[in-house]
Structures are given as C-alpha cells and as structure tokens.
Structure 1
Amino acid sequence: MNTPVEGFSKLTKTQKIDWIAINCTKDPEATKQLLKQYWNTDPRVQQLHDEFIENTVSNYYLPFAIAPNFKINDKLYAIPMAIEESSVVAAASKAAKFWLERGGFKAEIIGTEKVGQVHLIYKGDNQKLFRFFDSAKPELIKSVSSITQSMEKRGGGINNIELRDLSNKIDGYHQLHCTFETLDAMGANFINSCLEQFARTFKEQALLFDAFSEEEKNIEVVMSILSNYVPDCLVRAEVSCPISDLGNADMSSKDFAEKFVRAVNIAKVEPYRAVTHNKGIMNGIDAVVLATGNDFRAIEAGVHAYATKEGQYSSLTHATIENGIFKFWIEVPLALGTVGGLTRLHPMVKLALEILQNPSAKELMQIVAVAGLAQNFAAVRSLITTGIQKGHMKMHLLNMLNQLGATEAEKQKLVTYFKDQTVTNASVKEALESLKSK
C-alpha cells in the first residue's frame, strides 16, 4: 500500500525504485526488473535521460515511425512521428502518397508573433497609469537589453508592449501585453525572463512617477508568464486538385468531393463532431511535435483555443469546391522551435530534425501543419467511404493478438486471414482459439 515518503527527491535512483516497488506494487521484484529493462544500455545516454526531469526511475517508450512521400512546396520529406495510436502513421502515409500524385501540399507562414503578459492590479486614476506607461515603456525595453541582445542580433526580440485595461472583468486588473519574435527558438525561457524583468522595472519606475499618489505607486504584480495562445504565430497548409482527380472506388469523384465538403462543414457547426474532427488533426500534429522535442501540451492548448475564435468550438480545417476545383486547407497556430530545449540534448530529437533536413522553425511549422492536414484528409476520407473502423481495426489487429498471447506463426496466419474479414475483439479471439485448437 502506498505510504507518505519524506525527501523522495534526495534518494538515489535505486532507492527510489525500491520504494516504488515495495510501497506501490504487488510484485516488487518484477517491478524492479521491468523498470530496469527499459533503461538505455549506454550509461551516458541513460544519465542524459535521467537529467531531463526529476525523480526519474526509467524510460517510457513510444514508437518512433516514419511517414514518407510528403511533398511540401515541391520539396520531398519523410516525416518522423512518435505516437502509440494504431493507424495514424499508415493514414498519414496514405494521404501523403495520394497528394504526391496531385502536386503535393502547399504551405505558408502567416505570422510568427508570440505573446507574454504581465498581470497587474492598479486601482488608481487610469489616465495617470497610461501616462506613466508611455513614459516608462522605453525603460522597460532598456531593462531587458542584456536578455534580448543575442536574439536581436539574429533578427528577433521584442515586437511591442502595450498596456491593457481589463478592470471591467476584475477590479483593478490591467496587463502589459507583450509580443515577441523568437526565430528558431520556441522562446519560452526568453519570453518569461523578459516579462519578469518588465514587472520589476514597472514597479520600480512607478515609485518614481510624481503624478502617482503613494497608494497609486503601489502597483501589484500578480504574475508574469508567456501565453500558449498565439493566434498570430500562424501557418496555413493546403491541397487542391480538379474534382476529376479525386477518383475513388467507393463513389464518383463528384460525389466524393461533395460528401467530403459536407463532412467538414458538419465539423464547423457541430462542436461534438468538431472535437473529434480536430482530435484527428492533432494525431498528426502531436506525433511530429513530440518527435521533434517540442511541447505538444502547449500546442494542444493553443490550437484548441484557436478553434473557438469565432465564439464556438469549430473545425480547424476547411473544404470548398469552386469551378470544378476541390480545395482543402488548415490554418493553425504553432509556436515551435528547432534550437534550444531538447533539440540539442535528446538523441532521437536530433535524429528527427536531421531526417527533416534540419528545418528552420518556420519550415517545421509548415511540416507539422501538413501532417495535421494529411491526417484529417485520411480520416474524413475513411469516414465518408468505408468507415473509420475497417482500416483502424486492421492496424489494431497486432495489438489485439499480442494481448491474446499469439505466437509469431499464429500472428502471420491471422493477419493473412483478416485481410478480407471484419476485425473485432470477438472475431479475433474466436479465430485465434480455432487456430490453436487445430
């Protein structure tokens, strides 16, 4: 039974494993063996992994796969994906091949601006506060010169600082709304360092502003933090072709195009469908974000917030038919980095970026957006033709057979058998039992 522990972080790795095994599991020896089984065989690499986070006891593996044949802006990519869900990589690869034969994907960067905020409480004369801000703004920028110097040399830095009055929402609430350009870095540490210095300088300068009363000089800084909502760090990816090029065995090209557009439009107006629709997009996006060492949780939060920008949660993708041309596209906010963080530390992240031909942050934004669009195309295509389960369950077949303890020979026979059979838990179990009985 789990019990409280004092000073867990100060225990050695072996002591942590012993405590977990004894206090939290039914078979301590099996637990210890399992945790050690997933250690890297190279002690130097394992130490590197141990130092990424606190209280490390082992590694948690995800499959690292490749989706080939992505043509993006006339350049060919093999896209690394780290994900556990069956059929995602297969679906992305299938969509990539489909569009490779129809001109490939086009992508463009709409903006790369990132956001951070200093949240303040001020209950004095608003006109005085805005006059003070105008006078203090140059000092705010000057105060972070040592932080921004390197970034500015590369063409980045602070774009703007503005004072916003939000006291109609919370009494006295104001904020410094700050925008940044961080180039190939995701920029979280850079932005947060700037914001915290802005906060210190803002309070210091307020004490020197003669127009403030003593009470008004006492501005409260609640917190200083970047925002993961980056609607102006935006990328667009699209595919298009004549309707006649959408040949499909299940229906005519015209019917396919029209049904596809209707399916996307349903996700535009129906939030219950939109959430699952966008989850499919994130299957592609998250897998590449994770493989390249970026923060998929930040991306998820920002993307889903963007999906509500019109006041209701809605589809991130769009589809139209105009003058006989089918067009399918996505606009999505992606704050990504190709330098800093894990990109220089994690060996698999370095490899993933090498496979992607060492892209800039802008190029990676385009690649990730394309992965999401491809995933969504594959999903909607399946939904309006054969249904999602046919392909998904066939990809899930090996997982099911492994759970049932099938041998390699049995797996080979049953994979062949289910090529033209419906895959369900019951049918797979029945087929395996029948095979074993023979």
Structure 2
Amino acid sequence: MNNAIAGFSKLSKEEKINWIAAEYFTNPTNAIATIKQYWNSDENLQKLHDDFIENTITNFYLPLGIAPNFLVNGTYYSVPMVIEESSVVAAASKSAKYWSTRGGFKATVLNSEKIGQVHFMYRGNVQKLEKFFAATKTKFFTATEDITKNMQKRGGGILDIELRNKTNAIENYFQLHATFETKDSMGANFINSCLEQFAKTLKAEAQNNIEFTEDEKDLQVVMSILSNYVPNCIVRAEVSCPVEELAEKKIENPLEFAQKFVQAVNIAEIEPYRAVTHNKGIMNGVDAVVLATGNDFRAVEAGVHAYASRTGTYSSLSHAKIENGIFTFWMEIPLALGTVGGLTSLHPLVKMALQILGKPSAHELMQIVAVTGLAQNFAALRSLTTTGIQEGHMKMHINNILNQFETSDEERKMIKKHFENNIISHASVVEFIENLRK
C-alpha cells in the first residue's frame, strides 16, 4: 500500500481512479462509486471541469448560496457566496438587511494599480546601472507593444517602471518594479508576459551597452513574476448612522453597544492573536464571493494578510469610531480581481454568479467583495459583543450534526424543538440523539 507510481499523469482518467481505489481503499468498488457519484451527467460539462486542472478524477462540490438585500452605493445586490462553513451566508444576509434600512454600504475604489517585478543580480557600478536604466526605460515600453496594445485599447497597460536598488538586503540584488492597470481582467498572464519581455530587453540592452564592463554586461535575471501584494489596489467599504439608529431587538442600549463594538475593534487593532481571528471573519465574506466569481482567493488572502502586517505588526483590517453622535465602521483592503478572462468565461456557475451581480466591472466587483467582508465582520462583532458567537453559529451548525447521524424528519423536529430553549453544543446534541434512540 501507498507505493510510488511513475507516469501517473499519462494514465487515462479511469486508470488513475482504478489505481487510487486499489492503492488506498480496502473496498475499491465503493471508492470508485463515490468518486463517480460526483461526476456531472453532462459529458461536455464534465470534460470542461476536467480540463481546469491536471490529474482530475472527480469534482469536489462546495455549496453556492445567496445573501440578498445588499444595498451598495444605492443599488441592491444579491451576493453569490461559495463556502462550506455554516452561518456565514446567514450572517452576511442579516447584516445586509440590517444596514439596508440605515443607509446601506458605501464603497469606493481608491486605486487599482497592480505590480510585477523582474528580479536580477548586477555586479558593478550602481551609477552606471542607473544611467543605463534611464536611457533604456522607453525600450521596455516599445518592446512590449504587441502585448499591451489590446489592453491599452481598454484603457489599461503599463503605468510605470522603476529601477530599485535592494543591495542593502541582498548583495548585488536589483529590481525592475513595474506598475500596471489591467481594467476588468485580473491580469496575471498579461503582467507576467510583459515582465518576461522586460527581462529579455534588459539582458539584450545590457549586452549592447558600451559603457558596461564584461562583468556588468553579464547581469543575471533570477525571475520575472507579478506580485500578489497590491497595496495600491485598494477598495474602501463603510457603514455609518446615528448611534441611536443602531437599536434593534438585541441592541436595547445602542450607545453601550456602539462603545463596546469600538472597543472590540480597538482590541483587534493592537492584539495580533485577536486580529487574526477578526480578519479571518472578514475573509469568510471576501473569499466566498471571490470563489463564486471565479477569482483567485489564495492570491487575495496572501495580499490581504500582507497588507494587515504593513506597519510591522499584524492588525485589524477594519476600524470603528463614534464621532459627533455618528457610529462609523469601515475597512480598506487590497483586492486584485477580474470579471473577464480565466474561469469567468468558462465556468457556467461563475458566469451565472456574475449575471446575478449585474455583470459588474472589476471595480464594481471589488466594492461588492469588500462590502461582503465588512458585513461579515459586523455580524461577528455584533454577536461577540451581545449574545456571543456560538448561539447563532451552533443554530446553523446543528444541521451538520443531524446529517452526520442520519436523523429522520421526525427526529429532526424533536431535536430542534428541544434546542429552542437549551444550549446547543456538539456533545449536547449527540447526547440528545442517543437518548432519543434508546
């Protein structure tokens, strides 16, 4: 068991499945049946999914839910969310409805620059390199014209290229640091293609520079790659209202609630242990929409958490204040998103999600995603500072427990009735089920 295999990628899909089933399962027949149970009955659609990645054996499903009633900049949205965690969609929906009667969410894209770098080693006179770059800079733009012409037609392209001296960190290390505008595409392939051409131009021009010594001509390109840290691709989302308007059934004293809420955010601003969980709650909302719209949630996560650490200490992404009787809750986060290219034009449910959102531009999607993250954060903080986080979460989570124990409809009714007025925990639900079945 658990043997290595040569040439796995060259096996057919059926052969891959048969090998996995025989190698890792005591009942290969059941394993194969489970794998094939998640195949799509439409062969063309299944082939489309198979081609998204390599060595595909089946589909791994995640629920697609809808959080309605998001009022963003005066427009209502029903927000598609892909996530496996119970209570997230419910919390987002509850926040959306709550703020829809208090002016809704305001969102603004502050900037949309994306970044790519050519990392290279140069052993020589720094002043000569700086002079060389100044003389060569226009050639980087010229050499990439075939790559950038379509992007330029859409209003995007290369914004600027800088030479950065990083020798204080690593000996002989320099960068071409380039900024880009990619409009409605996420732009990874576009940026990387430009960077690889920059690298070729850099090496060729260095070889032809008569002022360089032979050692200086022989600069070494280490790599050319976009950055998922985009501190100048920022969207701001916020909500605000007079403190007294915060009142609702569970907020009988709105001023006390607002003050406690601000304190909770202040704690996340200075305490990294709290900030990580605080920001994870924000990303529950952000990632769910990023996934639903076919964007790269790993890139978003990496960039967002780097941004949360930009001061040298990991801190809250969101902030809150009470000023002149007005409660304000806001967040600024980096989001490099696209609404064209990649899965947006291939995955049927991604296309549907974008249709539900009204076929947004990349800027509009940035706003929707940020707002969903802020709504999620508000819901979590409201629970934490009032009833506690577990009450609502466990009410949603109970369905997972009931499914795990394959409860009947009659059992479900009895269990849910019992826990209307009793504390829900995994242990208490399991104990009740066991007693019910005795």
**TM-score category (smaller protein):** over 0.9
* Secondary structure in 2 matching 1:419: coil
Describe the superposition over 1:124-156 as per-residue Cα deviations: whole angstroms up to 9, x where unpaired. 000000110011111111111000000001100
Question: How many angstroms does 1:414 deviate by?
Answer: 1.6
* Equivalent runs, 1:41-190 vs 2, <5 Å: 41-190=41-190
Partner of 1:278: 279
Question: Which residue identity does 2:420 align to in structure 1?
Answer: K
For the aligned residues, what is the CA RMSD?
A: 0.8
Partner of 1:194: 194
Partner of 1:400: 401
Distance across 1 between alignment mates of 2:142 and 2:420: 67
Distance across 2 between alignment mates of 1:191 and 1:250: 49
Question: How many angstroms does 1:250 deviate by?
Answer: 4.9
Distance across 2 between alignment mates of 1:19 and 1:241: 60
Describe the superposition over 1:348-397 as per-residue Cα deviations: whole angstroms up to 9, x where unpaired. 10000000010000000000000000000000000000000111111000
Distance across 2 between alignment mates of 1:267 and 1:68: 28
Describe the superposition over 1:47-96 as per-residue Cα deviations: whole angstroms up to 9, x where unpaired. 00000000000000000000000000000000000000010000000000
Identify unmatched segments of 5+ residues in structure 1: none
Distance across 2 between alignment mates of 1:340 and 1:258: 45
Distance across 2 between alignment mates of 1:226 and 1:92: 32
Question: How many angstroms does 1:412 deviate by?
Answer: 2.8
Identify unmatched segments of 5+ residues in structure 2: none
Question: Which residue identity does 1:323 align to in structure 2?
Answer: N
Distance across 1 between alignment mates of 2:68 and 2:89: 9
* Secondary structure in 2 matching 1:128: helix
* Equivalent runs, 1:280-295 vs 2, <5 Å: 280-295=281-296
Partner of 1:317: 318
* Secondary structure in 1 matching 2:4: coil
Question: Which residue identity does 1:274 align to in structure 2?
Answer: A
Distance across 1 between alignment mates of 2:69 and 2:270: 33
Question: How many angstroms does 1:417 deviate by?
Answer: 2.5
- Between stretches 3-12 and 254-263, larger displacement belongs to 3-12
Partner of 2:419: 418
Identity of aligned residues (%): 62
- Between stretches 317-326 and 241-250, larger displacement belongs to 241-250
Do structure 1's residue 232 and structure 2's residue 232 form an aligned pair? yes
Question: Which residue identity does 2:119 align to in structure 1?
Answer: H
Question: Which residue identity does 1:283 align to in structure 2?
Answer: N
Distance across 1 between alignment mates of 2:376 and 2:427: 28
Question: Which residue identity does 1:231 align to in structure 2?
Answer: P
Partner of 1:363: 364
- Runs of 4+ in structure 1 off by over 6 angstroms are none
Question: Which residue identity does 1:113 align to in structure 2?
Answer: E
* Equivalent runs, 1:256-267 vs 2, <5 Å: 256-267=257-268
Distance across 2 between alignment mates of 1:341 and 1:426: 44
Question: How many angstroms does 1:432 deviate by?
Answer: 1.4
Q: Give the length in aligned residue pairs.
A: 437
Distance across 1 between alignment mates of 2:409 and 2:43: 32
Partner of 2:298: 297
Distance across 1 between alignment mates of 2:427 and 2:207: 73
Do structure 1's residue 14 and structure 2's residue 43 form an aligned pair? no
Distance across 2 between alignment mates of 1:165 and 1:303: 26
Distance across 2 between alignment mates of 1:432 and 1:174: 65
Describe the superposition over 1:95-114 as per-residue Cα deviations: whole angstroms up to 9, x where unpaired. 00100110100000100000
Distance across 2 between alignment mates of 1:143 and 1:180: 16
Distance across 2 between alignment mates of 1:387 and 1:95: 16
Partner of 1:213: 213
TM-score for the superposition, normalised by structure 2: 0.99
Partner of 1:335: 336
Question: Which residue identity does 1:292 align to in structure 2?
Answer: T
Distance across 2 between alignment mates of 1:403 and 1:339: 40
Question: How many angstroms does 1:420 deviate by?
Answer: 2.2
Distance across 2 between alignment mates of 1:85 and 1:412: 23
Describe the superposition over 1:211-247 as per-residue Cα deviations: whole angstroms up to 9, x where unpaired. 1001100000000000000000000000000000111
Distance across 2 between alignment mates of 1:152 and 1:408: 59
Distance across 1 between alignment mates of 2:421 and 2:95: 22
Question: How many angstroms does 1:251 deviate by?
Answer: 4.5
Question: Which residue identity does 1:278 align to in structure 2?
Answer: N
Question: How many angstroms does 1:300 deviate by?
Answer: 0.1
Question: How many angstroms does 1:409 deviate by?
Answer: 2.4
Distance across 2 between alignment mates of 1:72 and 1:425: 37
Distance across 1 between alignment mates of 2:50 and 2:377: 36
* Secondary structure in 2 matching 1:223: strand
Question: How many angstroms does 1:408 deviate by?
Answer: 2.5
* Secondary structure in 2 matching 1:78: strand
Distance across 2 between alignment mates of 1:47 and 1:409: 41
Distance across 1 between alignment mates of 2:251 and 2:414: 28
Question: Which residue identity does 1:135 align to in structure 2?
Answer: A
Question: How many angstroms does 1:2 deviate by?
Answer: 1.2
Question: Which residue identity does 2:120 align to in structure 1?
Answer: L
Question: Which residue identity does 1:413 align to in structure 2?
Answer: M
- Between stretches 104-113 and 404-413, larger displacement belongs to 404-413
Distance across 2 between alignment mates of 1:224 and 1:80: 35
- Between stretches 132-141 and 337-346, larger displacement belongs to 132-141
